[in-house]
Amino acid sequence: MITKENMRILAKSMIALDTIEMVLENKYISQTALPGQFLHIFLEGKTLRRPISIADIDKEMGTVTILFKVVGSGTKQLASYEPGREIDVLGPSGNGFQITEEDSTVLLIGGGIGVPPMYYLGKTLAKQNKKVISILGFQTKANVFYEEKFNQLGYTFIVTNDGSYGEKGFVTDVFHKVGDFDRYYSCGPLPMLKTVTNELNGKPGFISLEERMGCGVGACFACVIPSKDDKGYKKICSDGPVFDAREVSL
Amino acid sequence: MITKENMRILAKSMIALDTIEMVLENKYISQTALPGQFLHIFLEGKTLRRPISIADIDKEMGTVTILFKVVGSGTKQLASYEPGREIDVLGPSGNGFQITEEDSTVLLIGGGIGVPPMYYLGKTLAKQNKKVISILGFQTKANVFYEEKFNQLGYTFIVTNDGSYGEKGFVTDVFHKVGDFDRYYSCGPLPMLKTVTNELNGKPGFISLEERMGCGVGACFACVIPSKDDKGYKKICSDGPVFDAREVSL
Amino acid sequence: MNKLAVNLPGLHLKNPIMPASGCFGFGREYSEFYDLSKLGAIMMKAATAEMRFGNGTPRVAETTAGMLNAIGLQNPGVKEIIENEVPFLANFDTNIIANIAGSTIEEYEMVAKMFNETNDVHALELNISCPNVKEGGIQFGTDPKMAAKVTSVVKEASNLPVYVKLSPNVPDITRMAKAVEEAGADGLSMINTLTGMQIDLRSKRPLLANKTGGLSGPAIKPVAIRMIYEVKQHVSIPIIGMGGVNTAEDVLEFLLAGASAVAVGTANFANPFVCSEIIDELPETLKKYGFDTALDAVGKAVME
Amino acid sequence: MNKLAVNLPGLHLKNPIMPASGCFGFGREYSEFYDLSKLGAIMMKAATAEMRFGNGTPRVAETTAGMLNAIGLQNPGVKEIIENEVPFLANFDTNIIANIAGSTIEEYEMVAKMFNETNDVHALELNISCPNVKEGGIQFGTDPKMAAKVTSVVKEASNLPVYVKLSPNVPDITRMAKAVEEAGADGLSMINTLTGMQIDLRSKRPLLANKTGGLSGPAIKPVAIRMIYEVKQHVSIPIIGMGGVNTAEDVLEFLLAGASAVAVGTANFANPFVCSEIIDELPETLKKYGFDTALDAVGKAVME
Ligand SMILES: Cc1cc2nc3c(=O)[nH]c(=O)nc-3n(C[C@H](O)[C@H](O)[C@H](O)COP(=O)(O)OP(=O)(O)OC[C@H]3O[C@@H](n4cnc5c(N)ncnc54)[C@H](O)[C@@H]3O)c2cc1C
Ligand SMILES: Cc1cc2nc3c(=O)[nH]c(=O)nc-3n(C[C@H](O)[C@H](O)[C@H](O)COP(=O)(O)OP(=O)(O)OC[C@H]3O[C@@H](n4cnc5c(N)ncnc54)[C@H](O)[C@@H]3O)c2cc1C
Ligand SMILES: Cc1cc2nc3c(=O)[nH]c(=O)nc-3n(C[C@H](O)[C@H](O)[C@H](O)COP(=O)(O)O)c2cc1C
Ligand SMILES: Cc1cc2nc3c(=O)[nH]c(=O)nc-3n(C[C@H](O)[C@H](O)[C@H](O)COP(=O)(O)O)c2cc1C
Ligand code: FES
Ligand code: FES
């Protein structure tokens, strides 16, 4: 259940170009959050909260790690907060990735700032002894992060748009190298998700979506996406952000 | 001349109920400011700057002291700033008190948060070997500040509205005890200034006025007060805040 | 005696605080944060005759001290609301205000009739001011004759007290207020959002899919206060005020300007507890500024 | 080639940045902070036929992300302005735009004639939208016929290009824009302030002596952008945009929405260097978002 929590910033570091890793301490969220859920972060002076995915959790330490890219005034403000400070968060928000016990091989496909939720998911899947293959796409070498960490989960392809690191091209360009898998999980920019779901059409998969949010709890109808069911829509904040790839219309 | 300066906060302390003393470091302003001038202080997120009088200056140390009461969101924000931080200030703003060499005895009359500018004025006058008599009015005992400092300048009456400290009543209630003086200087709430100028009608004196300001430099016409000259008005921010008591219509 | 209590046509409010329409859904989500029985009332999200999907996304954008929204009146339709949402809200000891939007007078009439038949709705709020739909909505809100017409039709169609929600996108709000008062409105609800736009520098296009959206939040509070103050002098029906309320002091400012109750919209998004916290703080705030009851403050700034 | 240059009727602007009327006086005070020759133009404070003392104080109040003002058009009168202020500004290598206000059409006409006779004024800005005076001002700005009338009279009375400054307190700004375009306006200036109010909780009265005031600052930017975007699609005369500009990115947003030049008002108060800083930053900002010149950005969001 979502609650309003104070989370203390324990550590902050820049792990790639404009990309911040922040470790937050909070008992409730660290114990209850699932891979794919997000935090809805209040920033002083801002009208709306900022949704940021949970990238990792250490239940024993009671910490939650987030990774975010500085793209506008809110993320810039968050990046300026120093360890010791507390931030006001709603969470854990949304529904996480569904994990299927029978799966033996899973493919993670993360693009840019869609990579973070893939990490805690991959860690959780790897703990269940599934074979984890990851494809991580970034714009350019300077944006790459968490390569080492994903390597520890399983074979990891790094792809950069300009070929400055790893393979050149898009995440889909290495699909032919992946081999067989039972299910895929993907998070990234919408154009990427469109190509991914098209190319993997028919394969079972889950995707995590982004949209500008108002409430973040399902009340305001800001974040809807057309769905194939009777109701005709889903709310990304509360029905998602994770959806069965066959359930929504991108 | 007014410039835009960064002033580093060196010290901050609460010297009376809701009343903060802040010592700011800045070469230019400490060397050029005159008694009665003010600083126009920028506060993050605020549309308008806040005018605060200069309460004291230490030219050797290059410091400027301000005293302010927490009355609203801006002064609350300023009060939360810790030493080490820099604040953006326009100053020195306005015209200070005119000092007449021939005067031998001067009367300072300060009310509440109008007391601060009286201090640097009194110090300057005392240095010129004038006899300084001060009347400082406060609401109640908890509001009293700088009594000791004024005592060092000369005889000082403390008056509180409720009689909880010093004499009971208004600043004007002790006029009969003051004896003769050449000139008076006063700053405080408008009703006080009205009574003071009325009762001392005919005596040469200077008063410092307050009004809500836009620009603080004389451009926006927010802070006008009717005057007895041809133009018919004065701007408090640039023609004042100090006026000859006979020049303006309260 | 309950010092926060306010009685308005059809509404015995235990306190003058309620979430504004569209910013609280049908209460379900916020009921997980606190007990909705604490609220003076709840203004439900707009209902239309049929379900509406609303506008494309993005539907919201943040602005300095405010936000733009162009939800486009997405809602499951009045039937579904009466069947599934009203019964849920009826579990709470609070007043339910049904917000109605329509493209035609007949639609307003039909939806009003249906709410009238439930026993759980305490008042109707006519949204004649939604700037985010192509037809209906805002035309009703900028033409006094249309506004009067829709008001009187809805009054005929139901026994419920009718609060007409006025648009601020007019040069003379008093004219609108008087028109609907004469047409039989029991109260006014003001203000709805100001029409605004944000352009995305990267795409070089309006950020919202609908291009324009409604501006809400603290940015518009001075406009709301001015309009309520003006209208209060010229009408005798009560006003439910809204527009940028974040704190108990904001609520007091609305009461002083002439509002008898106050709705909180956008502020729920940053702080889901905001209504509850304001209700807790209000008694002390009233006292701080010398008022014994909420009622004592109503319209105080208007009377000379 | 100067990548910031913009040519408008009567105005060869070296850059599209100018201080907005009423927020920069007659330039004297700000000339102590930087060289005014750096500015594209200067919009002088409103001039009336006779000197005006204006409203009582307080005349300004701060609001969230904005401010209210009710100066009441205080100015020394057109004669004094021509004798003492225009010559001072003429020392700078920039364009002088004279802002004119009046209670009657005759007053606008008379003041326009007088500015026309000086050789130093480059354009007139007709303030038909001041919300802070009892008569004139805003009536002209909410009635398309009155607005057209005052425009055509002033056009007849002078050879100077005329920019009509529109009020945002209308339901349909395009109607106003078209009316003055047809009446011969050379350009538009938009927006003026939204009417607002603040109530002082301590005194329980409107804080401003004039009760209402004009809301300016970042709070109103979305309204300004929306109106410029709307008007741009329906008129062919250029628009000088304003309302809440604080940064070079704000300027770009106005250009994209359809403004050919941009005025900065309220922001001068917090930062007297703001116009100068924006001019310095603008080339880089344009480049960042893929524009070679300021002109390239004008109206980009409007064209589909
Ligand atoms: C479920 C979810 C999970 C996310 N997880 C991450 C993450 O782990 N790391 C990360 O770097 N980013 C993540 N994002 C994107 C992140 O929310 C935005 O980058 C951020 O809100 C931008 O805020 P800003 O103030 O810096 O930008 P601005 O552009 O100034 O923001 C203005 C407004 O737009 C909203 N907004 C802007 N971009 C986005 C976006 N892409 N998605 C949603 N709202 C947006 C902001 O929240 C704000 O309300 C996630 C988004 C969603 C919806
Ligand atoms: C020349 C001058 C010198 C001053 N010197 C001092 C001083 O030395 N110490 C001190 O405590 N106070 C002084 N004041 C008053 C001080 O400026 C206000 O108390 C302060 O601006 C309040 O800001 P706020 O945000 O806390 O209050 P809010 O009420 O939230 O402020 C809202 C707006 O009103 C303005 N405002 C509110 N009260 C006043 C006021 N009394 N005078 C002018 N503007 C006001 C604010 O500047 C702001 O723009 C002086 C005022 C003037 C004009
Ligand atoms: C996301 C959102 C959705 C809204 N939906 C409605 C609605 O359905 N019906 C309505 O009458 N007003 C609607 N409004 C307007 C609010 O009820 C309120 O009048 C306005 O937002 C001003 O109040 P605020 O500043 O507290 O948000 C909506 C506002 C927002 C922000
Ligand atoms: C203190 C003040 C005085 C103003 N005086 C005038 C004026 O004399 N004539 C005029 O046309 N507009 C006047 N305006 C309006 C501004 O020129 C501008 O249109 C408005 O403030 C919006 O821009 P901003 O948000 O950048 O301030 C004034 C605004 C302020 C804040
Ligand atoms: S953000 Fe409000 S419903 Fe999703
Ligand atoms: S504050 Fe602008 S003229 Fe004084």
Q: For chain B, which residues make up each domain, given as ranges?
A: 3-93, 105-210
Structure confidence at residue D304 as a pLDDT band (50, 70, 90):
low
Helix ranges (DSSP H) in D168-220: 173-182
Could you count the other beta carbons within 10 Å of the beta carbon of residue D292?
12
Q: Which residue has the higher pLDDT, A232 or D21?
A: D21
Token representation of residue A173: 């360009």
D138-187 pLDDT, tens digit per residue, is 678 888 999 999 999 999 999 999 999 999 988 889 999 999 999 999 99
Q: How far is the CA of D46 from the centre of ligand 3 (A)?
A: 37
Does the C-beta of A221 come closer than 6 Å to ligand 5? yes
Range with lowest mean pLDDT among A137-146, A170-179, B146-155, C110-119: A170-179
Q: What is the pLDDT of residue D36?
A: 98
Using the predicted structure, report yes or no on whether residue C267 has a pLDDT greater than 60.
Answer: yes
Give D26 to chain B, closest Cα distance, Å. Answer: 7
Half-sphere exposure of D163 (CA within 13 A, CB side): 30
Does the C-beta of B48 come closer than 6 Å to ligand 2? yes
Q: How far is the CA of D114 from the centre of ligand 2 (A)?
A: 40
> In this structure, which residue's CA is closest to atom 3 in ligand 5?
A218
Q: Do D197 and C64 touch (CB under 8 A)?
A: no
Residue entry with tokens 């809200």: C89
- Quote ipTM for the complex: 0.96
Give C41 to chain D, closest Cα distance, Å. Answer: 25
Structure confidence at residue C304 as a pLDDT band (50, 70, 90):
low
CB distance D86 to D118 below 8 Å: yes
Using the predicted structure, report yes or no on whether residue A202 has a pLDDT greater than 80.
Answer: yes
Atom of ligand 1 nearest to the CA of A51: 17
User: Which residues of chain D make contact with B3, given a CB cutoff of 8 A?
Assistant: 33
Q: Across chain C, what does the average pLDDT equal? A: 94
Q: What is the pLDDT of residue B250?
A: 81
Catalytic residue from among C130, C227, C274, C282: C130
First to last CA, chain D: 28
In angstroms, the Cα distances linking A22 to A3, A39, A79, A134, C159 are 20, 12, 9, 23, 57
Give D249 to chain C, closest Cα distance, Å. Answer: 8
Round to whole Å and give the CA distance between C285 and C94. Answer: 23
* φ/ψ (deg, to 5) at C95: -95, 140
Q: How far is the CA of D129 from the centre of ligand 4 (A)?
A: 10
Q: What is the pLDDT of residue D141?
A: 81
* φ/ψ (deg, to 5) at D239: -120, 130
- Closest ligand to residue D224's CA: 4
Atom of ligand 2 nearest to the CA of D67: 49
Residue entry with tokens 């250490």: A58
Give C301 to chain D, closest Cα distance, Å. Answer: 5
Q: Going residue by residue through chain B (250 aa), what tens digit of pLDDT does each one get?
A: 999 999 999 999 999 999 999 999 999 999 999 999 999 999 999 999 999 999 999 999 999 999 999 999 999 999 999 999 999 999 999 999 999 989 899 999 999 999 999 999 999 999 999 999 999 999 999 999 999 999 999 999 999 999 999 999 999 999 889 889 999 999 999 999 999 999 998 899 999 999 999 999 999 999 999 988 888 899 999 999 999 998 888 8
Does the C-beta of A225 come closer than 6 Å to ligand 5? no
Q: Is D23 a catalytic residue?
A: no
Catalytic residue from among D47, D86, D123, D130: D130
Q: What is the pLDDT of residue D40?
A: 98
Does C271 contact chain A (CB < 8 Å)?
A: yes
Q: Do B48 and D60 touch (CB under 8 A)?
A: yes
A101-142 pLDDT, tens digit per residue, is 898 999 999 999 999 999 999 999 999 999 999 999 999 999
Amino acid at B25: E
Does C33 contact chain A (CB < 8 Å)?
A: yes
Q: What is the pLDDT of residue D131?
A: 60
Q: Which residue has the higher pLDDT, B230 or C241?
A: C241
Could you count the other beta carbons within 10 Å of the beta carbon of residue C60?
26
- The arrangement of strands across the sheet holding C212-216 comes to C60-63, C66-69, C212-216, C194-197
Closest C-chain CA to A43: C270
Round to whole Å and give the CA distance between D1 and D15. Answer: 12
CB distance C66 to C219 below 8 Å: yes
Round to whole Å and give the CA distance between C270 and C266. Answer: 8
**Rounded average pLDDT over D199-207:** 97
Could you count the other beta carbons within 10 Å of the beta carbon of residue C117?
10
Chain C residues bordering chain D (beta-carbon distance below 8 Å):
63-66, 68, 142, 167, 169-172, 194-199, 201-202, 204-206, 211-213, 215, 218-223, 225-226, 229, 244, 249, 252-253, 256-257, 289, 300-301
As a whole-number percent, the residues of chain D with pLDDT over 70 amount to 96
In angstroms, the Cα distances linking D126 to D43, D77, D107, D141, D152 are 11, 15, 11, 10, 11
Does C74 contact chain A (CB < 8 Å)?
A: yes
Q: What is the CATH class of A105-210?
A: alpha beta
Chain A residues bordering chain C (beta-carbon distance below 8 Å):
1-4, 42, 46-49, 74, 90, 211-226, 231-233, 238
Torsion angle, alpha carbons of A172, A175, A177, A182, to 10: 150
Round to whole Å and give the CA distance between D239 and D257. Answer: 10
Dihedral class, residue D125 (left if φ above 0, else alpha if ψ from -120 to 50, else beta): beta
- Closest ligand to residue D22's CA: 4
- SS3 for chain B is CCEEEEEEEEEEEEEECCEEEEEEECHHHHHHCCCCCEEEECCCCCCCCEEEECCEEECCCCEEEEEEECCCHHHHHHHHCCCCCEEEEEEEECECCCCCCCCCEEEEEEEHHHHHHHHHHHHHHHHCCCEEEEEEEECCHHHCCCHHHHHHHCCEEEEECCCCCCEECCHHHHHHHCCCCCEEEEECCHHHHHHHHHHCCCCCEEEECCCCCCCCCCCCCCCEEEECCCCCEEECCCCCEEEECCCECC
Could you count the other beta carbons within 10 Å of the beta carbon of residue A88?
16
As a whole-number percent, the residues of chain A with pLDDT over 70 amount to 100
- Closest ligand to residue C272's CA: 5
First to last CA, chain C: 28
Query: Of all helices (H) and strands (E), which one includes residue C68?
Result: strand C66-69
Does the C-beta of A35 come closer than 6 Å to ligand 1? no
- Domains belonging to chain C, first-starting first, are 6-297 (3.20.20.70)
Does D290 contact chain B (CB < 8 Å)?
A: no
Among B2, B221, B227, B239, name the best residue to mutate to test ligand 6's pocket (greatest count of ligand atoms within 8 A of Cβ). Answer: B221
CATH code for the domain defined by B3-93: 2.40.30.10
D88-98 pLDDT, tens digit per residue, is 999 999 999 99
CB distance C247 to C275 below 8 Å: no
Q: How far is the CA of D219 from the centre of ligand 4 (A)?
A: 14
Strand-pair partners of B51: B40
